[in-house]
Structure 1
Amino acid sequence: MLRKFDTVIVLDDSSSMYGPSWTEATEALSALANMAGRYDDDGIDIYFLNSPQSGRNIKTDEEVRTLLSSVRPKGVTPIGGRLDDLLGDYLHLLESKTYEELKQIKHRNYIVITDGQATDDPATVIASVAQRLDRGYFPQTQVGIQFIQIGNSSKSARYLRELDDDLRNQYGIRDMVDTTEHHGQLTGEYLIKALIGGINRRVDNHGAKSVIDR
């Protein structure tokens, strides 16, 4: 199933991630890259909230460790701004293609790994993206966004709950966002399960055509 999707990691590199959380993220993403390399020639992409560094088509733990060791967590948590950049590029690509060309473009899952609350407003960014996807009649699984908490901050957990509530109740957007609070140590296996779980839920809600048709 995951071969049908591109996986994009958006990793919080704010100052609060320095130390154990950064080590935990490194280990989890290293394992994820190894697993992804076995099922998908595209591997995974990794971006950061603050650092301009990035990694494309990563397939090995060594690539992950090299990339994350080059980034020192610092600064704030601009989740909305970063998603606006990344999702904007992808939407521009989708909107520039013909119906036949779109069949060659993979659907995309964004995994936002964070230990705190955003310092900007990701809800309005996501709502705007959802509206553009609706206007273009793109499938429900064209874009998935998963917020996954790393660390056990109660403030972070509450923020994710409130973000989920706002997106569902205030904006009433299409079914494209999942939020997951802290449930123990983050691992590569957990990330895979979260990815598959989010896809399966959307397919169950909207049918298999949401994956294969536009």
Structure 2
Amino acid sequence: MNTITLTPETITEYDFVIGLDASGSMASPSTRYPGKTRWQEAQETIFGLASILGQYDTDGIDIVVFGGSVEVHEGVTADKVASIFQARSPRGSTPLAEAIQKIDALNGDGKKAVALIFTDGEPDDRAAAEAAIVSAAGKLEKDEDFTILFVQIGDDAGAAKFLAHLDDGLTSAKFDIVDTISAAEADKLEPIDLINKAIND
């Protein structure tokens, strides 16, 4: 695969959507930032992403929050990220399948789409989450039209195993649109690195 050089022009070719796990386990301690929770860790990273992407897309980014229920926030700029986190606390289950469906529904303006999904655990329904990804891949003309990058938060072994399966095990999908970053790898990466990895995988 040819490596795409990350430039302002390159970034404007993509629509970025953030998926944010807001389930109860996100209140657990962060492995990256001592004294903070996984929820606070996600806030710092997503603020960084919104700050970078906002330089090239003044309309903001879309954020899909899933924890018990699913909420879609469109046109979020960096200065609005904190209010999304302040409006709720981690609670409930992990409806990943519905979140993926909402993210997929936000695509469609002709740009390539990238979803960065931050999650710390396994979803409520693994089969449904897999089916949602397979369905999204089936709508594409080219595999580079939509990329889902899962970023693990925390060190849950079950989550790591499930995300690895999504990366390599969805053999029925029309295209392989999933990539994953383990918690150990994510701990070493800054927001700009996540953007670079998303468009180059």
TM-score of Structure 1 vs Structure 2, range by shorter chain: 0.7 to 0.9
Answering whether residue 58 of structure 2 is matched by residue 55 of structure 1, we say no
Number of the residue aligned with 1:183: 184
Number of the residue aligned with 2:119: 114
Number of the residue aligned with 2:153: 150
Amino acid at match of 1:158: K
The alpha-carbon deviation at position 175 of structure 1 amounts to 3.1
* Structure 1 residues 185 and 148, CA gap change in structure 2 (3 angstroms): closer
Greater share of residues in strand: 2
Contact 1:3 / 1:40 at 8 angstroms: preserved in 2? yes
Number of the residue aligned with 2:19: 10
Contact 1:113 / 1:149 at 8 angstroms: preserved in 2? yes
The alpha-carbon deviation at position 140 of structure 1 amounts to 2.4
Answering whether residue 138 of structure 2 is matched by residue 131 of structure 1, we say yes
Question: Which has the higher mean CA deviation after the structures are superposed, 81-90 or 70-79?
Answer: 81-90
**C-alpha deviations, 1:82-111, integer Å up to 9, x for none?**
212331453xxx4xxxxxxxxx63221111
Answering whether residue 90 of structure 2 is matched by residue 81 of structure 1, we say no
The unaligned stretches of length 5 or more in structure 1 are 95-103, 202-214
Identity of aligned residues (%): 30
Q: 1:36 aligns with which of 53, 56, 68?
A: 53
Amino acid at match of 1:87: D
* Structure 1 residues 195 and 36, CA gap change in structure 2 (3 angstroms): same
Question: Which has the higher mean CA deviation after the structures are superposed, 153-162 or 8-17?
Answer: 153-162
* 1:192-211 → structure 2 map (5 Å cutoff): 192-201=192-201
Contact 2:114 / 2:198 at 8 angstroms: preserved in 1? no
Contact 2:166 / 2:178 at 8 angstroms: preserved in 1? no
Query: After TM superposition, what 4+ stretches of structure 1 lie above 3 angstroms from structure 2?
Result: 50-54, 184-187
The unaligned stretches of length 5 or more in structure 2 are 1-9, 29-36
Matched length: 181
In the superposition, the TM-score normalised over structure 2's length comes to 0.80
Number of the residue aligned with 1:212: none
Amino acid at match of 2:13: K
- Tell me how large the CA RMSD over aligned residues is: 2.2
Larger Rg, first or second structure (1 or 2) = 1
**C-alpha deviations, 1:33-82, integer Å up to 9, x for none?**
1111112223321111134544322222x311111110221111111122
